[in-house]
């Protein structure tokens, strides 16, 4: 019985260690987005809170007074570096748009990656303020 218990504890240890090793990215982030093919660039500022499991939530404010609720996560990527995923609903030229951000941690602590707008693809850089 003791061996089974020890085996179960050892098997679960990497899972618990992985969650504890995630960086805490809570705080204010400036996200610079670009849809180069459309000639669109923008900046939003997000105030993110992170729970113990890596889930993110918080408000994002745009330059034109937009205020949206963002949700996402930070997790270990395949290369061992953190991966940020963030999403929110907004409008562009009067049309509803869902933006999905996914990017990896950079050497300077920022995140960079792609934005999926349900057809249009863009790029972003997120920098902690």
Q: What is the pLDDT of residue 22?
A: 83
Range of the domain at 68: 2-128
Band (pLDDT 50/70/90 cuts) for residue 64 is: confident
Q: What is the CATH number of the domain that holds 66?
A: 2.40.128.120
From CA 44, how far away is CA 42, in angstroms rounded? 7
From CA 88, how far away is CA 93, in angstroms rounded? 16
| Residues 6 or more apart in contact with residue 117 via CB below 8 angstroms | 35, 97, 98, 99, 100
Of the candidates 104, 74, 69, 109, the residue with the CA atom closest to the CA atom of residue 88: 69
pLDDT per residue as tens digits for the range 23-46: 899 999 999 999 999 999 999 999
């Amino acid at each position: 019985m003791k061996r089974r218990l020890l085996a179960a504890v050892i098997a679960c240890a990497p899972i618990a260690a992985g969650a504890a090793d995630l960086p805490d990215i809570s705080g204010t982030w400036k996200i610079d987005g670009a849809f180069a093919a459309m000639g669109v660039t923008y900046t939003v500022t997000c105030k993110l809170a992170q729970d113990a499991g890596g889930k993110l939530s918080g408000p994002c404010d745009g330059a034109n007074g937009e205020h949206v609720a963002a949700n996402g996560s930070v997790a270990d990527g395949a290369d061992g570096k953190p991966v940020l995923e963030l999403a929110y609903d907004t409008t562009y030229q009067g049309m509803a748009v869902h933006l999905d951000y996914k990017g990896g941690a950079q050497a300077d602590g920022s995140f960079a990656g792609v934005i999926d707008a349900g057809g249009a693809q863009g790029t972003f850089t997120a920098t902690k303020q």
